[in-house]
Amino acid sequence: MLNKALLKKDLKPSAMILLILTIIFAIQYPLRTILELDHLRLLESEVTHVFSSRMDNFVQDIFSANALSLFSIIAIVVMGGMLIGLERNTRRHDFSFSLPFSRQKLFVSKASIGLGSITVIMSLNCLVAWGLIWFSEYRDALVNFSFVEMFLVPLLAYLAIFAFTLFMGTISGEMISQVVLSFIFLIFPYGFAILLSVFFTTHFGNLGRLTATHLDEWLMILVLPFQVMGFVGVLPEIPMGMQLVVSLPILLMSLFIGITLYKKGKSEHNGEFLLFPSLKPVFLIGIVVCFAMLGGMIFSVFGDPAGATIPFYWLGAIVIGGLALLITKRLMQMNVTVNNN
C-alpha cells in the first residue's frame, strides 16, 4: 500500500520535469494532429494529387515512433535522476531513510510516481489526438491506427526506460552519473556490437562483419530508445511483437534488481560516481576499453586511404583510451554533494 506522504515528498522535486514531459507529449500528439489536419485540408483543396497519399500515412506519422520521442526519453531519464540521484546529491536522501518506512517502500513510491505519470500523460495525449481525428472529416484514416504498434509498444518502452534509469540510480552515487550511465547502457548492446564489428573488420576483413548475419539488426531490439524513435520498426525481419517481449522483461527485472540494490546501498558513498566501491574496477576497465575501441574506429578512417587502418586504429585506441582512463579515474574520485537549504 502506497503512503500519501511519501508520494507527496517524491512528487515535489519531480513536478517540474513532469510538466515538461506533459508539454513534450502534447506537442508530439495533439499539436501535431491539429497541424496535420490543417495540412490535409490545404492539400485537399489545392494539391489534390498529393492529398490521397498523405491521407494514407498521416495517422501513422503521428502515432508511430519518431525522432521527437528523443525529447521524451531525455525527460524520462532526467526524471529518474531527480527521484534518486538528486536525493543522493543532497541531504534529502538521509532524511528519507530516517522516515518510518522501509527502503522497499521508498523505492516503490518513486517507481509508482514515474510509471503512473508516464502512463497517464501519454495515454491522455494519445486519446486527445485520436479524438481530434475521430471528430474531424478524416476519421476514416483511423483504420490505419494500430493499438499495439502505435500505443502499447512505445508506452512499454518508455516505462522500461524509466525503470532502467531507477535501477542505474541504485548503483550510482549521484544524479549526473546516474543519467550518464543510463544513456550509455540504454544503447550499449547495439553500440558495443558496432565497436566489436569494426574491431574485427579492421583486423580480419569481412570475417567480423555483423551485417552479414543481421545480428546488428536483432541487437537493435534490445535498445529501448530505438523502439520509441522508430529505428526498429523499419526492419522487416523483426516482428513487431518482439519489442514487447524485450521491453516487459527489462521493465520487471529493472524494478526487481532496483529494489534489491536500493535496500543494500550505503549512504556514506552518496555523492560518489558509484555507490558500490567493488564495481569501480569493472566500470573503469569497461569504460576505457569502450572508448579505446571508439577511438580506434574513428582513427582507422584516416588510415584507410593509405592502407594503414590497423596502425591508425591502435593509435586512436591509445589516445582516446588514455584520455578516457584519466577522466574516468577523476570521475571515480569525485564527490558531488550539495547542501539542501
Domain contains 23: yes
Residues 231-285: pLDDT tens digits? 655 555 666 677 777 889 999 999 999 999 988 877 777 888 888 888 888 888 9
55/121: higher pLDDT: 121
User: What integer best gives the mean pLDDT of the chain?
Assistant: 84
Give dist(CA 183, CA 178) in Å, integer: 9
Q: What is the pLDDT of residue 129?
A: 94
DSSP string, 165-187: HHHHHTTBSSHHHHHHHHHHHHS
pLDDT at 33: 92
Residue 21: the pLDDT is: 93
Local structure of 262: helix, strand or coil:
helix
pLDDT tens-digit readout, 198-211: 888 888 776 555 55
**What SS3 state is found at 172?**
strand
Integer Cα distance of 305 and 314 in angstroms: 16
- pLDDT in the model for residue 197: 83
The residue written with cell numbers 498521416 in the block is 58
Cβ atoms of residues 324 and 184 within 8 Å: no
The answer to whether residue 159 sits within a structural domain is: yes
- Cα–Cα distance measured from residue 37 to residue 31, given in angstroms and rounded to the nearest whole number: 10
Do 259 and 304 lie in a common domain? no
**pLDDT, greater one: 67 or 116:** 116
Inside any domain, residue 220: no
Determine the Cα–Cα distance for residues 173 and 235; give it in Å rounded to an integer.
38
Q: Which range (54-68, 132-146, 270-284) has the least confidence?
A: 54-68
> What are the angstrom distances between the C-alpha of 288 and each of 148, 320, 328?
40, 8, 8
Q: Are residues 262 and 281 in the same domain?
A: no
Does 141 reside within a domain? yes
- Which three cell numbers mark 1? 500500500
Indicate the residue among 273, 294, 312 that finishes a domain. 273
Q: Are residues 331 and 232 in the same domain?
A: no
Query: What pLDDT score does 307 carry?
Result: 76
Q: What percent of the chain has pLDDT over 90?
A: 33
Which one-letter amino acid corresponds to residue 56? Answer: D
Q: What is the pLDDT of residue 219?
A: 74
101 and 79 in a common domain: yes
What's the whole-number mean pLDDT along residues 203-221?
A: 65
Least confident of 49-53, 101-105, 232-236, 258-262: 232-236
Q: How far apart are CA 49 and CA 30, in angstroms?
A: 26
Strand partners, 211: none
So what's the pLDDT on residue 236? 56
Structural domains in the chain (count): 2
Task: Say yes or no to pLDDT of 331 above 70.
Answer: yes
* Lowest-pLDDT range of 204-208, 222-226, 292-296: 204-208
Lowest mean pLDDT among 13-17, 66-70, 215-219, 233-237: 233-237
* 118 & 164 share domain: yes
What is the arithmetic mean of pLDDT over 187-204?
85
Q: Same domain for 330 and 234? A: no
172 with 293, same domain: the answer is no
In a domain, 313, yes or no: yes
- Residues found in the chain: 341
339 pLDDT band, cuts 50/70/90, is low
Q: Is residue 206 part of a domain?
A: no
pTM: 0.87
Same structural domain, 234 and 329? no
pLDDT category at 53 given cuts 50, 70, 90 is: confident
**Residue range of the domain that includes 303:** 276-336
